[in-house]
């Protein structure tokens, strides 16, 4: 009888088997302690979290100290304090890399936090004006070299997030950010070369790509039906035709894309952008049936995320049909029961229990 394991466990075992084979190790006559050392991950994680929180608190305290004495400090003194603070924290982080790596990382985080805060404070001090979205862009550009140098996924995630905040001006201000067109492929390249194809970074960059693409269609006044349909189809392509090096990452991104935009396409209002009211309702229902069939097929293929999508589709129609005529108490009770049943099904499927 075969033992059931997750895909992540299988991938780990394959990697370790290749490692042991390359070392010509006889597992039957070898002790794993000679080749592996068990790391205390809980201790490392706790220390890292404590140091990171401590670094943020120090940074907030430093800024509050400056803010409380803001009127008594000259403009150039404020700039000098922030500039020296950033340099000092980066230098301290660099000097402690070898002896205190976790403390060093916290000092780098503090320098990055102070750098971004300094952008806003200096802009206010010298009345530079400008859009707040550009301040986030400068923050991203300032900490991006640090992310590459440290190969730190947290700093890289912050960089992507600040670029995302910069790109929101497409919707909020109505200004197109051409920089993001260059940033997105550059981030993919850095993730591939520097971060060794990190799954989390890939997903974050892809989220930025989808958001920017969607907002670009809105900016150029493309019909929203084609916007949603194109991203839905793109999600299917990404899911069913992933690159070998990013198979799991692309499958996750593809599922999020075709799942989210697929649910949107089950609403008649999106079809009304092209078709008449009567026709749009029929097309929405037809699409919903085909979409549910696709999800059921993926569930049979063993896709756990598809169980979540199926739950979302059923809950979407449940709320659409039942909200107006069911008593509100009964509506929430039944909705809760649906979520509990699907949660139980998802957990049993995740554990491999029949």
Annotated domain spans of the chain: 46-129, 153-220
Two tokens, residue 167: 């790109």
* 221 class by beta-carbon count within 10 Å (0-12 exposed, 13-18 middle, 19+ buried): exposed
Task: Provide the token pair at 219.
Answer: 């900016």
Q: What integer is the mean pLDDT of 115-142?
A: 78
Q: What percent of the chain has pLDDT over 70?
A: 75
Q: What is the pLDDT of residue 1?
A: 56
pLDDT of res. 308: 81
With H, G, I as helix, E, B as strand and everything else as coil, classify residue 314.
Answer: helix
Q: What is the pTM of this model?
A: 0.76
Helix, strand or coil, per DSSP, at residue 195: coil
Mean pLDDT of the chain, nearest integer: 81
Q: For the beta carbon of residue 135, count every other beta carbon within 10 angstroms.
A: 19
How many whole angstroms separate alpha carbon 316 and alpha carbon 328? 16
Lowest mean pLDDT among 3-7, 188-192, 242-246: 3-7
Average pLDDT over residues 295-304: 81
CB 188 within 8 A of CB 201: no
């Amino acid at each position: 009888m075969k033992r059931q394991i997750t895909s992540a466990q299988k991938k780990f075992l394959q990697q370790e088997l290749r490692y042991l084979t390359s070392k010509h190790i006889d597992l039957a006559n070898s002790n794993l302690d000679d080749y592996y050392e068990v790391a205390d991950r809980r201790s490392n994680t706790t220390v890292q979290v404590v140091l990171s929180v401590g670094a943020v608190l120090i940074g907030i305290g430093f800024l509050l100290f400056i803010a409380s004495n803001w009127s008594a400090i000259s403009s150039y003194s404020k700039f000098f304090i922030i500039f020296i603070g950033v340099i000092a924290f980066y230098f301290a982080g660099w000097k402690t890399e070898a002896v205190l790596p976790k403390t060093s990382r916290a000092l780098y985080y503090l320098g990055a936090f102070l750098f971004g805060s300094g952008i806003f404070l200096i802009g206010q001090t010298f009345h530079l004006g400008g859009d707040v979205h550009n301040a986030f862009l400068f923050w991203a550009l300032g900490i991006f070299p640090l992310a590459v140098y440290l190969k730190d996924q947290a700093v890289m995630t912050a960089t992507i997030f600040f670029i995302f905040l910069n790109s929101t001006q497409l919707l909020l201000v109505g200004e197109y950010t051409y920089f993001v067109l260059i940033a997105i492929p550059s981030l993919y390249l850095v993730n591939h070369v520097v971060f060794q194809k990190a799954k989390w970074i890939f997903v974050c960059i892809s989220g930025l790509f989808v958001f920017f693409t969607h907002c670009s269609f809105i900016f150029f006044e493309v019909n929203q039906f084609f916007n949603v349909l194109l991203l839905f189809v793109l999600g299917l392509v990404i899911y069913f035709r992933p690159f070998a090096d990013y198979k799991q990452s692309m499958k996750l991104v593809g599922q999020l894309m075709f799942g989210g935009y697929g649910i949107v396409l089950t609403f008649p209002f999106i079809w009304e952008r092209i078709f008449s009211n009567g026709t749009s309702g029929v097309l929405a229902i037809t699409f919903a049936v085909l979409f549910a069939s696709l999800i059921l097929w993926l569930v049979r293929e063993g896709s756990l995320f598809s169980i979540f999508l199926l739950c979302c589709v059923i809950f979407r129609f449940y709320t659409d049909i039942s909200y107006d005529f069911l008593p509100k108490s009964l509506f929430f009770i039944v909705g809760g029961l649906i979520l509990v049943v699907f949660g139980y099904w998802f957990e049993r499927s995740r554990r491999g229990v029949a």
